[in-house]
Amino acid sequence: MPPAQAVGARPLVEPRPSDEVVVIAGLTKRYGSRTVVDDLSLTVRRGEVYGFLGPNGAGKTTTLRALLGLVRPTSGTASVLGRPAGAASSGVGALIEGPGFYPYLSGRENLRVLARYAGAPAGRVDTVLETVDLTDRARDRYSTYSLGMKQRLGVASALLKDPELVVLDEPTNGLDPAGISDMRALLRRLSADGHTVLLSSHLLGEVEQVCDRVAVISSGRLVVESSVGELLGLHRLVIDAEPLGEAAAITTRLLGPERVSVVGGAVHAQAGPEDAARINRALVLADVEVSGLRQEAQTLEAVFLQMTGSELAAAGPDPDGPPAQRTGRLSRRGAAR
Amino acid sequence: MSTTTETGGPGSGTPETEQPASATGRPAEPTGRTAGSLGAMISAELTKLLRRPATWVLLGLWPALQLVFSTVIPYVSYQRGASFEGLPPEAVLASMLPDQLVLNSLSGLPLFGGALLLTLGALLAGSEYGWGTLKTLLGQGPRRLQVLAAQLLALLVVLAVTVLVSFGLTALASGAIAAGESAAADWPTAGRLLRGLGGGLLIAATWGALGLLLGHALRSTALPIALGLVWVLAAENLIVNVAAPLLGAFDTAQAALPGVNAGSLVAALAGNGATLRTPGVAAIVDGAQAAGVLAGFLVLFTALTALLLTRRDVV
């Protein structure tokens, strides 16, 4: 396995400007003295499914609202499809912070109202209803819909214009497992059809399965922007050895302090299998008794919790060590500020 | 969700898919803002208004109350040979005949009719925030001012129809009374009728626009309705009937109040010799001034709404 690349690093070949569907640069949004989004920069490329992750209150929805022109940034810029945020609406379909529809209208009537505003052909209404599997209930009042059905109608509204960029904020809220599975299939199909999808979700398993790249934000700041593969490629190497201090020192000398921590009587290192043999050899040569050396593959959820947890824990005691050690290279962008 | 249905894409018929496509099948050039035509947006707003039960209640209530208080109750009183509001039976009959059509169609508009139409405007705007539908609408591409224009124009359409309905119902009732009592059926001239319709629409639009302003300003329904009702039904009455006789400043200021000008416009449209017995209808200022002030209020309320809608975040 090749060495893990620095997360957040740009590819060797920069994408052409036209391949950048969303470009956010230094976006900041303050409400009074409260900073909701803090100098956020990220890029979504054409055709990718981009996961936008963060704890509740991290600033995800505010960022998405800024992209749609619903809120004005305090500073910084956001462009969508090469135009200032909010000015490229023809190419953007969005479901932001839950569905909002007229309760006394049926699902179909709601979409017809929106289609007239969008300038979408009337035929699109039935197409998107079919897409989200709501045709059978299309004539029922929206107020009679379950949460999952409301959510699906919200996704349908986002697809009305057959937009190039689909922005979905927690689209799986209220969906049952079958609905979540269908949503996953829909996201894949959207991507296959050439749509770019910007997905905010708490279901990290889903994000891990469908997203090409992710950004993690916490407290309004970008913690990391990376491909999912790069994120998950940062395996954790757990070393049981005596004396522990010497083992930690040797491992730190090999990998650098930002990738090593001592947790619960073991050395934890952000290192792939290719590093394991090198570390083992160095430890043995130094007469350190190695009783265990194992690789722990990480899930996106674990990585997410590490990164956002360390951000939150930065002000207090952290049993897993300093944030810089735990996030290692992952926090490059966020730590640079 | 269906996993077999096409979600659209190249060739699905939307304007953007008809542009040259990139390798991903999507438009190669950045796409700007497009949205439906203003006519389509007004049609959407009319759908929202006409499918909403509250609209029918509010718009139905005004002509119904107008008919009851301007014609039905006075006629019952006349039939019993009793005086009504100090008028002898002959004067009561004369006040219900076709030549009083304009007054009897509009007399409730400055007060209770205005309150109902203000409520409709506040519901139309405030609900968009409560239901989270404004962000959904704006997400489809229209500019904020287009949404406001569609809302206002759709509201004007239903208000115009309601004013017509009020005139129609009153005309039927007064015509029937004239025929039944063998009284003269002197209908207003076309010009007077048109001025009445226009004046009625101006008053209705002003109240509706105030409701829209309050709904957008307060981003809810309950508070704008409560404030609006207190203003229309109580505050202006207190200023006119309590404060103005006592304090010169209020006596001068009342000429600038929307309700006072609405009442003055109705009084002017009613013509000389009309019996002004409905609360809120009084010739405090002349008709031309009243129309000018109301038109000014309509523009002001609309401009303030536009300012609020375009300057504030949609959260």
Closest residue of chain A to B45, computed from CA coordinates: A113
Question: ipTM of the predicted structure?
Answer: 0.84
Residue A309's pLDDT band (cuts 50, 70, 90): low
Percent of chain A at pLDDT above 90?
53
Closest Cα in chain B, distance from residue A301 (Å): 26
B56 touching A (Cβ < 8 Å): no
CATH architecture, domain defined by A234-332: 2-Layer Sandwich (3.30)
B11-23 tens-digit pLDDT: 333 333 333 333 3
Q: How far apart are CA B271 and CA B195, in angstroms?
A: 11
Q: How far apart are CA A15 and CA A45, in angstroms?
A: 8
Percent of chain B at pLDDT above 70?
88
3-state secondary structure of A24: strand
Closest Cα in chain B, distance from residue A39 (Å): 19
Q: Look at A117 and B48 and tell me if their CB atoms are within 8 Å.
A: no
**Residues whose CB falls within 8 Å of the CB of residue B188, separated by 6 or more in sequence, listed in order:** B98, B99, B101, B102, B196
Please tell me whether the peptide bond between A243 and the residue prior to it is cis, using omega within 30 degrees of 0.
yes
CA end-to-end distance (rounded Å), chain A: 32
Asked if residue B288 is part of any domain, the answer here is yes
Asked if residue B130 is part of any domain, the answer here is yes
Task: Write the CA distances from A114 to A171, B94, B134, B139, integer angstroms.
Answer: 19, 51, 11, 9
Q: Could you give the residue range(s) of every CATH 3.30.70 domain in chain A?
A: 234-332
In this complex, the residue of B8, B9, B48 whose CB is nearest that of residue A113 is B48
In this complex, the residue of B5, B132, B140 whose CB is nearest that of residue A117 is B140
pLDDT of A92 reads: 92
SS (H, E, C) B192-221: HHHHHHHHHHHHHHHHHHHHHHHHHHHCCC
CB atoms within 10 A of CB A315: 7
Q: Residue A41 in contact with residue A224, Cβ under 8 Å?
A: no
B56-73 tens-digit pLDDT: 999 999 999 999 998 999
Residue A73's Cβ-side half-sphere holds a number of Cα atoms within 13 Å equal to: 25
Asked if residue B3 is part of any domain, the answer here is no
Is residue A246's pLDDT more than 90? yes
In this complex, the residue of A102, A189, A195 whose CB is nearest that of residue B48 is A102
Residue A281's pLDDT band (cuts 50, 70, 90): very high
Percent of chain A at pLDDT above 70?
84
A90-140 tens-digit pLDDT: 789 999 988 999 999 999 999 999 999 999 998 999 999 999 999 999 999
In this complex, the residue of A83, A87, A159 whose CB is nearest that of residue B7 is A159
Closest Cα in chain A, distance from residue B130 (Å): 9
Closest residue of chain B to A105, computed from CA coordinates: B51
In this complex, the residue of A81, A160, A196 whose CB is nearest that of residue B31 is A81
CATH topology of domain A18-230: Rossmann fold (3.40.50)
In chain B, how many domains are there? 1
Q: Could you give the residue range(s) of every CATH 3.40.50.300 domain in chain A?
A: 18-230
Residue B9's pLDDT band (cuts 50, 70, 90): very low
Q: How far apart are CA A331 and CA A160, in angstroms?
A: 38
A179 touching B (Cβ < 8 Å): yes
Chain B residues in contact with A91 (beta carbon < 8 A): 16, 27, 30-31
B30 touching A (Cβ < 8 Å): yes
Is residue B245's pLDDT more than 90? no
Asked if residue B12 is part of any domain, the answer here is no
Closest residue of chain A to B37, computed from CA coordinates: A119
Residue A42's pLDDT band (cuts 50, 70, 90): very high
B86 touching A (Cβ < 8 Å): no
In degrees rounded to 5, what are phi and psi of residue A272?
-85, 175
Closest Cα in chain A, distance from residue B145 (Å): 13
Asked if residue B13 is part of any domain, the answer here is no
Closest Cα in chain A, distance from residue B2 (Å): 5
The one-letter amino acid at B235: A
A269 touching B (Cβ < 8 Å): no
Q: Look at B6 and A152 and tell me if their CB atoms are within 8 Å.
A: no
Give the residue numbers spanning the domain of B227. Answer: 36-311
Chain B residues in contact with A81 (beta carbon < 8 A): 30-31
A172 touching B (Cβ < 8 Å): no
User: How is residue A184 written in tokens?
Assistant: 């996953």
Closest Cα in chain B, distance from residue A172 (Å): 12
Closest residue of chain B to A186, computed from CA coordinates: B3
Number of cross-chain residue pairs from A and B with Cβ atoms under 8 Å apart: 213
Is residue B28's pLDDT more than 50? no
Task: Write the CA distances from A238 to A251, A266, A277, integer angstroms.
Answer: 11, 7, 13
Instruction: Find tokens 């379909």 and name the residue.
Output: A93
DSSP character at residue A5: P
Closest Cα in chain B, distance from residue A236 (Å): 36
A314 touching B (Cβ < 8 Å): no
pLDDT of A329 reads: 32
Residue A18's pLDDT band (cuts 50, 70, 90): low
Closest residue of chain A to B147, computed from CA coordinates: A117
DSSP character at residue B30: P
Instruction: Find tokens 């300012």 and name the residue.
Output: B307
Closest Cα in chain A, distance from residue B61 (Å): 20
pLDDT of B34 reads: 60
Q: Look at A133 and B26 and tell me if their CB atoms are within 8 Å.
A: no
Asked if residue B24 is part of any domain, the answer here is no
Which of 143-162 (B) contact A at CB < 8 A? 147
Is residue A318's pLDDT more than 80? no
Q: How far apart are CA A254 and CA B59, in angstroms?
A: 79
Chain A residues in contact with B12 (beta carbon < 8 A): 124, 127, 162
Percent of chain B at pLDDT above 90?
65
B237 touching A (Cβ < 8 Å): no
pLDDT of B305 reads: 98
Query: If we measure between CA atoms, which residue out of B178, B2, B29, B3 comes closest to residue B93?
Result: B178
Query: If we measure between CA atoms, which residue out of A246, A229, A256 comes closest to residue A290?
Result: A246
Asked if residue B55 is part of any domain, the answer here is yes
Residue B1's pLDDT band (cuts 50, 70, 90): low
B20 touching A (Cβ < 8 Å): no
